[in-house]
């Protein structure tokens, strides 16, 4: 063999070594499982519950024989890795390294649940592109995700999102604030958010809307991750006589904001999202001081909505699978979409008749099915469409904590089971 032959052989070997990981995962032999990778912040309540919901969906599908790919059925297998990205001080790079470790070790065909922090989500999109992995994100919410897909479709077409995003959250909140303004004559709000991309984006969106719609925004404060003293803002809320406090937080410490507001007798209605206030056990954990809070449930499921039977079934089955204690701790963001994401993948793979990434992406784009969150369809920017009618779109809702410790759905009207009322400390 001459020099040219050796060189050609060398290139061939190199091509096989580099290309093998990509090619191998795209082919399934009979008996091979379809592997789902779940890199997420397992220490966060959203990550923990999302991972439990995914395992539940995998078990349900496997109990029925698995996913039909062409002529054979394949079982699903899900592997998680803790990215710890919800913790203060964890650099984006660490979360990405964990994600890549999972990809290289478990060789998944798709990624579900995914990143918790928007900053990590944006960075991880390049990883998905590099490994050509269909990815459905069910927690991180930044709208920049969609912008990246719209700007560079060919590169980022593998990325999808089925949870609520910041603009949809702002949309729901504007409707709620519209109602609060009309019902109670409130015109002055105070916005308090955590200093992260999604919360800042949502807060700014709402700030703009409030100002354009006759509200006065007394102030807009952001707190660093891990903060647990909100008294500087609460002092100003009281001094400036704000009637409503709008909050956007997903850090564990944020629940204490309510406790501090009650301790300081702040006469303002709290509305928005405080992650620890969403679960069913928040009434007991925060010693009834959540009463009156109007909290978003980003996606239904953890709060069952009668108009969407799958949300009720999910809630009940979660309790059967993981116990009542786990069910009452179900977080307000992530579990429903995480569960749905496995069914979305299974459905798309069955339609594509392969796990080849580009074919799966095409099938995902054509998804139209009913899930825990309502009707699931992806827009051109790969974001699931949210709305106010579960027959037409996926659904988020708003509930108010009322005595004797129940979460009463107050928005959207089509699924509402009660109306927003002023809490006792404001009457």
Partner 1 sequence: MDCRKIMLPSIIIYGLINSVILALIAMGFSLTFGISGVANFAYGGFYLFSGFLVWMLLNYLKFPLILAIMVTIGVTGLLGFVTYWVILLRVRGIALSEVIATFALGVGILELFRWMGFVTYEFTLPYLKKGMILIAGVPVDYQRLFIIGIGLGLVLFLYFFTHYTRIGLSFRGIAQNERTAISLGIKSDRTAALSLAFGSAMAAVAAIVILPLGIISINTGYEVLLIAVAVGIVGGLESVPGILVASLILGYAQVITGTYFKPEWMMVVYLAAIVLVLGIRPSGLFGKFKELEERV
Rule CB under 8 A: choose which of 6, 235, 313, 369 binds partner 1. 235
Lookup: tokens for 201: 């984006």
Pairing mode of beta strands 76-82, 34-40: parallel
For residues 21 and 33, what is the distance between their CA atoms, to the nearest angstrom? Answer: 16
Sheet holding 374-377, edge to edge: 368-371, 374-377, 394-395, 386-387
Rule CB under 8 A: choose which of 8, 224, 369, 426 binds partner 1. 224
Positive or negative, the CA dihedral 201, 203, 204, 208 is positive
209 and 170 Cβ atoms separated by less than 8 Å: yes
Give residues with Cβ within 8 angstroms of 320, minimum separation 6.
none
- Angle, vertex CA 52, rays to CA 342 and CA 41, nearest 5: 95
Q: Identify which of 241, 266, 260 has the alpha carbon closest to the alpha carbon of residue 426.
A: 266
We find the least distance from the C-beta atom of residue 197 to partner 1, in angstroms, to be 14
CA distances 110 to 37, 121, 127, 160, Å, are: 6, 15, 12, 11
- Cβ burial of 312 (10 Å; 0-12, 13-18, 19+) is middle
Whichever of 160 and 223 has its CB closer to partner 1, that residue is 223
Residues numbered 79 to 108 that lie near partner 1 (CB under 8 A) are: 87-89
Rule CB under 8 A: choose which of 260, 317, 354, 370 binds partner 1. 260
For residues 315 and 249, what is the distance between their CA atoms, to the nearest angstrom? Answer: 24
Give residues with Cβ within 8 angstroms of 417, minimum separation 6.
306, 408, 409, 410
Applying CB under 8 A, does 426 fall inside the site for partner 1? no
Whichever of 25 and 234 has its CB closer to partner 1, that residue is 234
Residues numbered 270 to 299 that lie near partner 1 (CB under 8 A) are: 275-276, 281, 285-287
Q: Give me the 315-344 binding string for partner 1, x by CB under 8 A, dash otherwise.
A: --------------x---------------
Applying CB under 8 A, does 256 fall inside the site for partner 1? yes
Rule CB under 8 A: choose which of 24, 29, 239, 424 binds partner 1. 239
We find the least distance from the C-beta atom of residue 323 to partner 1, in angstroms, to be 15
Rule CB under 8 A: choose which of 59, 105, 152, 195 binds partner 1. 195
Applying CB under 8 A, does 202 fall inside the site for partner 1? no
Applying CB under 8 A, does 43 fall inside the site for partner 1? yes
We find the least distance from the C-beta atom of residue 304 to partner 1, in angstroms, to be 22
For residues 405 and 283, what is the distance between their CA atoms, to the nearest angstrom? Answer: 6
Place of tokens 């002529």: 71
Whichever of 92 and 414 has its CB closer to partner 1, that residue is 92
We find the least distance from the C-beta atom of residue 265 to partner 1, in angstroms, to be 5
Rule CB under 8 A: choose which of 253, 315, 347, 367 binds partner 1. 253
Which residue intervals of 268-404 are DSSP H helices? 282-285, 309-322, 324-328, 335-352, 357-365
Whichever of 94 and 421 has its CB closer to partner 1, that residue is 94
We find the least distance from the C-beta atom of residue 198 to partner 1, in angstroms, to be 16
For residues 317 and 190, what is the distance between their CA atoms, to the nearest angstrom? Answer: 39
For residues 309 and 408, what is the distance between their CA atoms, to the nearest angstrom? Answer: 17
We find the least distance from the C-beta atom of residue 275 to partner 1, in angstroms, to be 8
Applying CB under 8 A, does 236 fall inside the site for partner 1? yes
Q: DSSP letter at 321? A: H
Applying CB under 8 A, does 405 fall inside the site for partner 1? no
Pairing mode of beta strands 397-402, 394-395: unpaired
Q: Largest Cα–Cα distance of the chain, in whole Å? A: 92
We find the least distance from the C-beta atom of residue 347 to partner 1, in angstroms, to be 33
Q: Identify which of 99, 101, 164 has the alpha carbon closest to the alpha carbon of residue 137.
A: 164
Stretch that binds partner 1, among 221-229, 304-312, 376-384, 400-408 (CB under 8 A): 221-229
Applying CB under 8 A, does 1 fall inside the site for partner 1? no
We find the least distance from the C-beta atom of residue 92 to partner 1, in angstroms, to be 17
We find the least distance from the C-beta atom of residue 90 to partner 1, in angstroms, to be 10
Whichever of 260 and 317 has its CB closer to partner 1, that residue is 260
Site size toward partner 1, by CB under 8 A: 43
Stretch that binds partner 1, among 29-37, 118-126, 154-162, 247-255 (CB under 8 A): 247-255
Lookup: tokens for 292: 């009156």
Lookup: tokens for 234: 């609460």
Rule CB under 8 A: choose which of 35, 45, 144, 349 binds partner 1. 45
Q: Which residues bind partner 1 (CB under 8 A)?
A: 43-45, 48, 87-89, 195, 221-224, 226-233, 235-236, 238-241, 252-256, 259-260, 263-265, 275-276, 281, 285-287, 329
């Amino acid at each position: 063999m001459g020099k040219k032959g050796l060189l050609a052989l060398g290139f061939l070997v190199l091509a096989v070594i580099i290309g093998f990981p990509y090619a191998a995962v795209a082919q399934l032999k009979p008996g091979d499982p379809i592997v789902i990778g779940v890199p997420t912040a397992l220490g966060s309540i959203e990550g923990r519950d999302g991972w439990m919901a995914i395992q539940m969906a995998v078990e349900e599908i496997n109990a029925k024989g698995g996913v039909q790919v062409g002529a054979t059925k394949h079982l699903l297998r899900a592997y998680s890795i803790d990215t710890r990205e919800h913790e203060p001080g964890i650099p984006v790079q660490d979360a990405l390294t964990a994600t890549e470790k999972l990809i290289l070790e478990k060789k998944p065909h798709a990624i579900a649940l995914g990143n918790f922090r928007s900053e990590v989500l944006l960075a991880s999109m390049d990883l998905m592109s590099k490994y050509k992995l269909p990815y459905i994100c069910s927690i991180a919410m930044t709208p920049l995700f969609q912008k990246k897909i719209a700007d560079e479709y060919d590169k980022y077409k593998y990325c999808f999102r089925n949870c609520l995003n910041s603009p949809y959250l702002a949309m729901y909140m504007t409707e709620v604030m519209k109602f609060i303004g009309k019902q109670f004559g409130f015109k002055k709000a105070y916005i308090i958010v955590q200093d992260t991309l999604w919360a800042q984006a949502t807060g700014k969106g709402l700030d703009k809307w409030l100002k354009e719609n006759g509200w006065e925004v007394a102030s807009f404060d952001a707190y660093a991750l891990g903060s647990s003293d909100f008294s500087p803002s609460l002092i100003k809320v009281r001094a400036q006589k704000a009637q409503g406090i709008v909050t956007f937080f997903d850090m564990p410490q944020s629940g204490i904001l309510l406790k501090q507001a009650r301790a300081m007798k702040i006469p303002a209605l709290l509305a928005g999202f405080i992650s620890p206030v969403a679960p069913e056990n928040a009434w007991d954990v925060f010693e009834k001081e959540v009463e009156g809070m109007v909290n978003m449930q980003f996606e239904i499921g953890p709060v069952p909505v009668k108009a969407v039977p799958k949300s009720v079934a999910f809630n009940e089955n979660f309790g059967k699978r993981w116990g009542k204690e786990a069910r009452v701790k179900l977080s307000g963001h992530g579990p429903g979409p995480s569960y749905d994401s496995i069914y979305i993948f299974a459905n798309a793979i069955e339609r594509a008749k392969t796990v080849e990434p580009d074919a799966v992406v095409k099938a995902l784009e054509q998804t139209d099915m009913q899930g825990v969150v309502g009707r699931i369809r992806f827009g051109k920017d790969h974001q699931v469409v949210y709305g106010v009618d579960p027959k037409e779109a996926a659904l988020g809702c708003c509930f108010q904590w009322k005595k004797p410790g129940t979460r009463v759905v107050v928005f959207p009207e089509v699924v509402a089971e009660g109306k927003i009322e002023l809490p006792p400390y404001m009457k």
